């Protein structure tokens, strides 16, 4: 090959690369044996703090939830774990049927008509929902509530930069007033601080102006609160990690995406459907695939080139095992423990819940100590909370409870907050 192109060596072929970049000195240590490497990696891993190693109140999109032991046993079977894209239905019936079951379970949970076989995560699901609204309405303005998770808003802004979609961020109470000329209004319920939001007026304002209503939701919340489909929203999105998927830095996560049947042709991702073969036998196929790989790029509804199939299968197994009663029980426990803990914390001198009104299983606590300072002080006592990063009001901490939150953890948090704020005299109140 070198002879045919008229060069004498590979180095001569790569003349476009600067010579000092061809073989850079990386400063790496000498190679290790397998035993030595394993010991080194174990030492590094031992420096991590697992979520169960102490009181844990982090949450939001990604939550520490109870995962029945049967979930990984079933979801990680070889036929699921090694399956990728079921292009050939005749050899992929197991994977296709499981994805079909996931879609069906998700539609039941959200009370929506159609759910796809997953986005990358909650953030990309929000961005894809906004782009879907832009296609449906022909408008290029997206209005999103500031109380939507900050990760979701950041991803939306990144997506919008290329096609020059205008992203407007306003408080939730101002969404309806900004519906004019918008492709969609994006509201979160429960919101990023855990507060419950009245979605119906937002949906009415969106529809009156010719826009779509997108609701960011949480799967466990849909078991106790009215689900998106009952609130007249057009698209429901969220993070599916709490459905049996372990917390892990970087994922995998699961993007939930569901819509009304009238909009299915504009829905991104894949849709698995049920059919009958020539002999009348029940079977499953990829019914709708709107990716740029399969059709002309300019006609595609999404550039997402894979889906989180193994995460979706895991969620389907989790939902089937927990059932309606199990999901509701898990949600009720988290809500009850959050409200009990909030009452105890608000009774501490100088402390108050960060907002008036009802909340779900997450709340903001305002104290005389700034949120970030309090967060780090609590971490020094092995108690983990969030500080509401990128919220307009940064003087509080965020506390998430689930069915795994214990009385001992709550007691440790109350005691630690009491000690840290004891020297601060300034009173705070809800806003």
Angle, helix 407-421 to helix 371-380, in steps of 10 degrees: 120
Q: Where are the domains of the chain?
A: 52-65+323-421, 70-318
Query: pTM for the full model?
Result: 0.88
Give CATH for domain 70-318: 3.40.640.10
Are the C-beta atoms of residues 255 and 119 closer than 8 Å to each other?
A: yes
Measured over the CA atoms of residue 343, residue 346, residue 348 and residue 349, the dihedral's sign is negative
Minimal CA–CA distance to 125: which of 186, 208, 176? Answer: 186
List C-alpha distances in Å: 35 to 29, 43, 73, 286, 355: 16, 12, 29, 46, 54
> Strands of 362-366's sheet, edge to edge?
352-353, 362-366, 396-400
Measured over the CA atoms of residue 216, residue 219, residue 225 and residue 231, the dihedral's sign is positive
* Contact partners, residue 63, CB within 8 Å, separation at least 6: 241, 242, 247, 400, 402
Measured over the CA atoms of residue 294, residue 300, residue 304 and residue 309, the dihedral's sign is negative
Question: pLDDT 10s digit of each residue in the chain, 431 long?
Answer: 999 999 999 888 888 888 788 778 888 888 999 999 999 999 999 998 888 899 999 999 999 999 999 999 999 888 887 766 676 777 788 888 999 999 999 999 999 999 998 889 999 999 999 999 999 999 999 999 999 999 999 999 999 998 999 999 999 999 999 999 999 999 999 999 999 999 999 999 999 999 999 999 999 999 999 999 999 999 999 999 999 999 988 788 999 999 999 999 899 888 899 999 889 999 998 888 765 555 566 677 776 766 678 899 999 999 999 999 999 999 999 999 999 999 999 999 999 998 889 999 999 999 999 899 999 999 999 999 998 655 544 578 999 999 999 999 999 999 999 999 987 655 555 55
List C-alpha distances in Å: 122 to 16, 60, 155, 281: 41, 11, 10, 36
* Contact partners, residue 124, CB within 8 Å, separation at least 6: 155, 159, 255, 304
* Contact partners, residue 338, CB within 8 Å, separation at least 6: 194, 359, 360, 361, 362, 363, 399, 400, 401, 405
**Reported CATH class of domain 52-65+323-421:** alpha beta
Determine the straight-line distance between the first and last CA of the chain, rounded to whole angstroms.
72
Are the C-beta atoms of residues 245 and 224 closer than 8 Å to each other?
A: no
* Contact partners, residue 373, CB within 8 Å, separation at least 6: none
Are the C-beta atoms of residues 2 and 8 closer than 8 Å to each other?
A: yes
């Amino acid at each position: 090959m070198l002879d045919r192109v008229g060069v004498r060596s590979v180095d001569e072929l790569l003349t476009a690369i600067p010579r000092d970049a061809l073989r850079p000195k990386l400063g790496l240590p000498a190679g290790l044996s397998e035993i030595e490497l394993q010991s080194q990696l174990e030492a590094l891993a031992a420096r991590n703090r697992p979520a169960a190693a102490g009181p844990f109140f982090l949450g939001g999109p990604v939550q520490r939830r109870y995962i029945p032991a049967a979930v990984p046993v079933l979801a990680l079977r070889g036929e699921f774990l090694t399956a990728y894209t079921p292009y050939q239905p005749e050899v992929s019936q197991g994977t296709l049927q499981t994805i079909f079951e996931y879609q069906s379970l998700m539609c039941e949970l959200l009370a929506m008509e159609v759910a796809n076989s997953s986005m990358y995560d909650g953030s990309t699901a929000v961005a894809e929902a906004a782009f879907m609204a832009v296609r449906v309405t022909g408008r290029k303005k997206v209005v999103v509530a500031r109380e939507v998770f900050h990760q979701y808003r950041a991803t939306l802004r990144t997506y919008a930069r290329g096609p020059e979609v205008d992203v407007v961020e306003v408080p939730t109470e101002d969404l309806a007033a900004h519906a004019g000329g918008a492709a969609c209004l994006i509201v979160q319920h429960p919101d990023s601080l855990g507060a419950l939001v009245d979605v119906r007026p937002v949906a009415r304002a969106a529809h009156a102006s010719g826009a779509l209503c997108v609701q960011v939701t949480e799967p466990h919340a849909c078991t106790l609160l009215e689900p998106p489909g009952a609130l007249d929203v057009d698209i429901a999105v969220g993070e599916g990690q709490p459905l049996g998927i372990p917390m892990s830095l970087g994922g995998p996560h699961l993007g939930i995406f569901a819509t009304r049947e009238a909009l299915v042709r504009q829905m991104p991702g894949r849709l698995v459907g049920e059919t009958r073969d020539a002999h009348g036998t029940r079977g499953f196929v990829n019914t709708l695939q709107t990716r740029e790989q399969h059709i002309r790029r300019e006609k595609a509804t999404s550039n997402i080139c894979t889906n989180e199939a193994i995460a979706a299968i895991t969620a389907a197994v989790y939902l089937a095992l927990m059932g309606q009663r199990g999901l509701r029980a898990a949600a009720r426990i988290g809500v009850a423990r959050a409200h009990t803990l909030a009452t105890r914390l608000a009774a501490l001198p100088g402390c108050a819940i960060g907002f008036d009104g009802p909340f779900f299983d997450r709340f903001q606590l305002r104290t005389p100590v700034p949120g970030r300072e309090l967060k780090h002080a609590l971490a020094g006592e092995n108690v983990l909370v969030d500080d509401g990063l990128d919220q307009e009001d940064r003087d509080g901490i965020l506390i998430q409870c689930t069915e795994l939150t214990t009385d001992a953890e709550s007691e440790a948090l109350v005691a630690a907050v009491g000690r840290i704020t004891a020297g601060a005299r300034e009173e705070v109140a809800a806003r």
